[in-house]
Amino acid sequence: MPDLTFDKLHEECGVFAIYGHPEAANLAYLGLYALQHRGQESAGIASSDGRKIHCIRKMGHVADIFTPDALNQLPGELAIGHTRYSTTGDTVILNAQPLSVACNKGQIAVAHNGNITNAAELRSELEREGSIFQATSDTEVVLHLVARSRERTLSAALRDALLQLEGAFSLVFIAEDRIIVARDPHGFRPLAMGQLELSDGRTSYVFASETCAFDLISAAYIGEVAPGEMVIVGPEGVTRERYTPAKAPAQCVFEHVYFSRPDSLVFGRSVAQSREMMGRLLAREYPVEADVVVPVPDSGVSAAIGYAAESNIPYQQALIRNHYVGRTFIEPSQAIRDFGVKLKLNPVRHLLEGKRVILVDDSLVRGTTSRKIVRMVRQAGAREVHLRISCPPTISPCYYGVDTPSQNELIAARHSVEGIRQYVEADSLGYLSLESLHKAVDDKNQRFCYACYTGQYPTPLVQIEDLAYSKC
Ligand code: SF4
């Protein structure tokens, strides 16, 4: 089987929640549709009709799962949704979200983006006390903590549970009559809040990993759920409270470098603006005489636009991406060189022939795909290929919900920039400096996590065993 995975850090999860809308499940579907890039393995929606929670979760893409018939089985004015990516071995329906439980606080369901770093420890404790787990997802631990809490109300039990969690989490919960959302005290993963005015004068509230989910449903962005904050939306209205004081901020800079859609606001800042600035600063740091700037689509596009604008070199979309490549494909028995990458990308020969090309990409993780792309551009006739990466070298794995390969698979952890250049067969290679990345995301107050580029983690390092958990 060919390796169809791009040499990238994988997508993680997207979460969505809506309260007070007569078509809650339909809007959750549209929200998840906009968040599909954050995870394509499974998706789910849980809705409440005020008495009972209904849930559908399946493997596959949002549009394939939520047919009109499926959406008709999700009644009510409140809903949460989730789209998930996970590593091989964890791709089971039991880990698809939302996860639900019925307990003495009623029926609740949860969807999660992040990685609870003390999940293994908490799970062992819970199992010793008699809890029975169905899945291997760290998210299930949260439900057990809520169910076992001695607190009498749901919000108090949630607070109790959240205070025991470590790591990264943006969580959305649904109960019979309310939506509750929460973010970890470092604020690793994003969670935006918005509102929709209904024709009957009521206001509906929405939450999502990225604001592109609001645009599709015409919701207005209000702001971010703050780190350490819990927002409860129920019949009594909206209650915002700090369940714990915020800790040193650690917003994942990789959301701006790679994960999020450029048309989103993430952590309150335009992703396109950050990426274009990354490209401009990269052009200042690593200029080179060339004829054309070419992005590796799709995520390299904004940075390439910035690079081209700053360097006054024409921008050309000379690599065309096929968006409809499935997960498996039968490779022709006659070996075709770099077959996997050719399925996804095709060069536009007349834009590359005889040209000195600056290829802009947003990450270089193992180096294998970059090498294939450099070769492809050269085979299409390019005279020179200069690779520019719009972030610093990735040297350390992420413990906060981004599925990075282990350290020994990260090419930059083992090789110098010159060594990597030779490996990817580029004429030159330049990475954005850490200082410029700070500038590109306008991080004047040290609000971001850069640990995958520095190895300096914002929380105490977790035990390796903890990572055996499927995370989201
Ligand atoms: S280690 Fe990297 S990917 Fe993980 S949260 Fe920090 S910046 Fe994001």
Q: Give pLDDT tens digits for 353-380.
A: 999 999 999 999 899 999 999 999 999 9
Which of 160-164, 280-284, 407-411 has the least mean pLDDT? 407-411
**Structure pTM?**
0.92
Q: How many A from CA of 65 to the centre of ligand 1? A: 30
CA distance 410 to 305: 27
- pLDDT at position 466 over 70: no
Q: Give pLDDT tens digits for 36-63.
A: 999 888 999 999 999 999 999 999 999 9
Q: Indicate which atom in ligand 1 lies nearest the CA of residue 458.
A: 6
Q: How many A from CA of 252 to the centre of ligand 1? A: 5
For ligand 1, is residue 29 a contact (CB within 6 Å)?
Answer: no
Query: What pLDDT is attached to residue 90?
Result: 57
Query: What pLDDT is attached to residue 331?
Result: 62
Of the options 3.40.50.2020, 3.40.50.150, 3.40.50.2300, 1.10.490.10, the CATH number for the domain spanning 271-323+332-444: 3.40.50.2020
Query: What pLDDT is attached to residue 77?
Result: 98
- pLDDT at position 469 over 50: no
Candidates 113, 169, 253: which one to mutate for ligand 1, based on the most atoms within 8 Å of Cβ?
A: 253
Query: What pLDDT is attached to residue 402?
Result: 85
Candidates 247, 257, 394, 452: which one to mutate for ligand 1, based on the most atoms within 8 Å of Cβ?
A: 452
Q: How many A from CA of 7 to the centre of ligand 1? A: 17
197: its two tokens: 């005015």
- pLDDT at position 9 over 70: no
CA distance 167 to 186: 8
Q: How confident is the model at residue 472 (pLDDT cuts 50, 70, 90)?
A: low
- pLDDT at position 117 over 60: yes
For ligand 1, is residue 252 a contact (CB within 6 Å)?
Answer: yes
For ligand 1, is residue 169 a contact (CB within 6 Å)?
Answer: no
**Buried b / exposed e along 370-384 (16+ C-beta atoms within 10 A):** bbbbbbbbbebebeb
For ligand 1, is residue 462 a contact (CB within 6 Å)?
Answer: no
Contact by Cβ (8 Å): 102, 55: no
Q: Indicate which atom in ligand 1 lies nearest the CA of residue 451.
A: 1
Contact by Cβ (8 Å): 98, 46: yes
**Nearest Cα residue to atom 2 of ligand 1:** 452
Give 260's DSSP letter: S
Contact by Cβ (8 Å): 376, 347: yes
- pLDDT at position 327 over 60: no
What is the average per-residue pLDDT within 169-182?
Answer: 97
**Nearest Cα residue to atom 8 of ligand 1:** 252
Candidates 400, 459, 467: which one to mutate for ligand 1, based on the most atoms within 8 Å of Cβ?
A: 400
Q: How many A from CA of 157 to the centre of ligand 1? A: 29
Host H or E run for residue 413: helix 411-414
The rounded Cα 374 to chain-centroid distance in angstroms is 26
Q: Give pLDDT tens digits for 208-233.
A: 999 999 999 999 999 999 999 999 99
Structure-model confidence comparison of residues 321 and 88, the more confident one: 321
Return the active site residues: 13
Q: How many A from CA of 188 to the centre of ligand 1? A: 8
For ligand 1, is residue 453 a contact (CB within 6 Å)?
Answer: no
Query: What pLDDT is attached to residue 168?
Result: 94
Query: What pLDDT is attached to residue 212?
Result: 98
Query: What pLDDT is attached to residue 330?
Result: 61
Query: What pLDDT is attached to residue 88?
Result: 40
Q: What mean pLDDT, rounded, does the chain reach?
A: 91
For ligand 1, is residue 451 a contact (CB within 6 Å)?
Answer: yes
Q: Give pLDDT tens digits for 406-455.
A: 888 999 999 999 999 999 999 999 999 999 999 999 999 999 999 999 99
Q: How many A from CA of 394 to the centre of ligand 1? A: 10
Host H or E run for residue 175: strand 167-175
Structure-model confidence comparison of residues 324 and 205, the more confident one: 205
- pLDDT at position 126 over 50: yes
Q: How many A from CA of 171 to the centre of ligand 1? A: 18
Provide the residue ranges of all domains of the chain, joining segments of one domain with +. Answer: 13-247, 271-323+332-444
Q: To 10 degrees, what angle do helices 368-379 and 417-424 make?
A: 50
For ligand 1, is residue 196 a contact (CB within 6 Å)?
Answer: no
CATH class of the structural domain 13-247: alpha beta
- pLDDT at position 463 over 70: no
What is the average per-residue pLDDT within 380-387?
Answer: 98
Query: What pLDDT is attached to residue 322?
Result: 84
For ligand 1, is residue 441 a contact (CB within 6 Å)?
Answer: no
- pLDDT at position 131 over 50: yes
